[in-house]
Amino acid sequence: MSREVRRTIPLYLIMGLCAFFLLEYFADISAITGVKSEITRWGTIVSGFMLIFGVVLLIRHHFMQLAVRNVGQREKILSVVFFVSFLAFLLIGFSTPERTGGTNYQWIYQNMYRPAGTAITALCFWWCIYGGYKTFTIRSWESASIGAGAVIYMLRLLPIGPVFVPPLAPLADWLLATINVGATRGGTLAVGAGSLVLGMRTLLGKETGALEAVQEG
Alpha helices in the chain (DSSP H): 3-26, 30-67, 73-95, 103-108, 114-136, 141-157, 160-164, 168-174, 180-203, 209-216
User: 10 Å Cβ neighbour count for 92?
Assistant: 19
The predicted model scores a pTM of: 0.51
Residues 54-67 have pLDDT tens digits of: 889 999 988 888 88
Residues in the chain: 217
pLDDT tens for each residue of the chain, 217 residues long: 566 666 777 778 878 888 888 888 887 788 888 888 888 888 888 888 888 888 899 999 888 888 877 778 888 888 898 898 888 888 887 887 777 777 878 888 888 888 888 888 888 878 877 777 776 677 777 777 877 887 888 788 888 888 888 888 888 888 888 888 888 888 899 998 888 888 787 777 776 665 555 555 5
Domain boundaries, the chain: 1-69
From 141, 146, 153, 210, select the one nearest 177 (Cα to Cα).
153
